[in-house]
Amino acid sequence: MRTGWRGSDAIGPAFAALYAGGFAISGYFQLTAWRAVLIGAHHVAPITALMLLAAVSLLAWVSLSARRAVWMSPARLAWHDSDDHRVVVLRRRLIAAWGWRVVAVSYMWTMAAALTQASSLVWTVGSAGGLVVAVIALLALGPDRTARRAGRAELVDGWHRRTVRSVAARYLDPMLLLEAARPVGLSLAGASILRYMTVEVAGRGHALLLAVLVLGVALVLLQLAPALPASLVLAILGYLSLLPTSSGLAQLWHYPGLRRWTDASDLRLRGTAAATLAVPALAWCAVAVLFGAPVAALAVAPIIVAALVRTVTRPPPRYDVPSPVFLMIQTMRGADLLMLSTTVLLLGLAPVITATVIVALTASGILT
C-alpha cells in the first residue's frame, strides 16, 4: 500500500520534471534564436559566462546551507524510527538537494558558454572550476555527518516548515512561504510601527544575504543578455529577492492581535511599511546602477516597493469560486502590479511620474 501511494504521488512531479527537462534541452537546439533575443547585435565577452557560473554557484551554495532536506515526521520519529534508517533517508535527501542544484548550475553554465561562443579554454576552465566547487560544496554539506547529528527537535522543526511550504503550494497561497524573522529583544510596549518594521527587516539576515547574491546574478545577467530591458530584469529579481523582507508587514496586517496593538489605519500601515521597504529596495537598485545598470533603473525601486506592499496586504485567499483563473489572479497579486508598472515604464513614460502615481495609488488602497 505504501509503495503504491508513493508511486501515484510522484506522477505529477515526474511529468513536471519531464516537461521542464524537455524544454530546457530544446534550448540547445535553438541557440541562434536565443542569441538574437538575449544578445542581439551586442558583443558579449565569453568571460561573462564564467561570471554567471560563479554567481549562481555561490547562490546555490548559500541556498543549500538552509538544509531544507533535514526533516522527518514526528509520527515516524515516535513509532518507526531507527538511527540507521534516519541516516539513510536524510543522506539521500541531502544528496538529492545537492544534485539538482548541480544540474541547474551546469545547465546555466553550458547555455551561457554556448550563447557567448566561448573558446575551448573557457569551457575547460569553467567546467573544471564548477566541478571543484560542486565537490567542495558536497564535502561542506557533509551528508553523513549532517544526517547523524540531526536531532529530533531540528527534524521536527524542519518537518513543520516543509508542511507549511506544502500547504502553500497546494492552496496557491505564497504568503505562507514567508518565514518569520529571528527572535529579537523588542517589547511592543511603546514601540512604534516604524521601529517594528525596521527590526523585522533587519531580523532577516539570511534573506538579505540572498538578496545580495540575487543582485549579483542580476548584474551578470545584464551583461550576458544586453538585449533584455534592464528595468524588467531588475524589477523581477528585485521583487523576488526582497519579498522575504516584507513578511513583517504581512504579520502585522493579518494577525488581529498585532493590529489591535497598532491601532493604526490601513493607510498608515501601508505608508510606514513602504517607507521601511524603500530602504533595501533603493539600496538594491542603487548598487545595480553603481555596477553598470542604467540610471533609469532607480525608478524600479518604488515599483518594487508598491508590488511588495500589494502582495503582503492582500486579502485572505478565497476558494469558494471554482475558477482556476480567479485562483491564479489572487496568487499573482503584487506580481501583476509589478509587471504592469514595468511595462508602462518601458513604454517611455516619465519614470518619476509613473513611480509616484503607483506608490500613491498603492498606499491609498486603490491598488490593494
The model's pLDDT over 235-275, given as tens digits with 9 standing for 90+, comes to 999 999 888 887 777 777 777 777 777 777 778 888 877 88
Residue 7's pLDDT band (cuts 50, 70, 90):
very low
Q: Residue type for 67, please?
A: R
Enter the C-alpha cell of residue 210.
Answer: 540572498
Closest C-alpha to 288, from 301, 276, 279: 301
| Least confidently predicted of 8-17, 72-81, 151-160 | 8-17
pLDDT given at position 187: 56
Query: Region 19-35: what's the mean pLDDT?
Result: 86
Closest C-alpha to 105, from 147, 146, 62, 68: 62
The model's pLDDT over 53-103, given as tens digits with 9 standing for 90+, comes to 999 999 999 888 888 889 988 888 888 777 778 888 899 999 999 999 999
The model's pLDDT over 191-203, given as tens digits with 9 standing for 90+, comes to 677 777 777 776 6
Closest C-alpha to 300, from 227, 367, 247, 230: 230
Residue 1's pLDDT band (cuts 50, 70, 90):
very low
Residues in Cβ contact with 107 at an 8 Å cutoff, skipping those fewer than 6 apart: 24
pLDDT given at position 349: 55
Distance CA 329, CA 335 (A): 10
The model's pLDDT over 272-293, given as tens digits with 9 standing for 90+, comes to 778 888 888 999 999 999 988 8
Number of helices (H), then strands (E), belonging to the chain: the values are 19, 0
pLDDT given at position 195: 74
| Least confidently predicted of 26-40, 163-177, 297-311 | 163-177
**181: three-class secondary structure by DSSP:** coil
For 117, which DSSP code?
T
The fraction of the chain above a pLDDT of 70, given in percent, is 85
Residue 357's pLDDT band (cuts 50, 70, 90):
low
pLDDT given at position 105: 95
Residue 131's pLDDT band (cuts 50, 70, 90):
very high
List the chain domain ranges.
Answer: 38-170, 180-368
Enter the C-alpha cell of residue 305.
Answer: 516597493
The model's pLDDT over 205-235, given as tens digits with 9 standing for 90+, comes to 677 888 889 999 999 999 999 998 888 899 9
pTM for the whole structure = 0.82
CB atoms within 10 A of CB 230: 22
Q: Residue type for 71, please?
A: W
Enter the C-alpha cell of residue 108.
Answer: 546555466
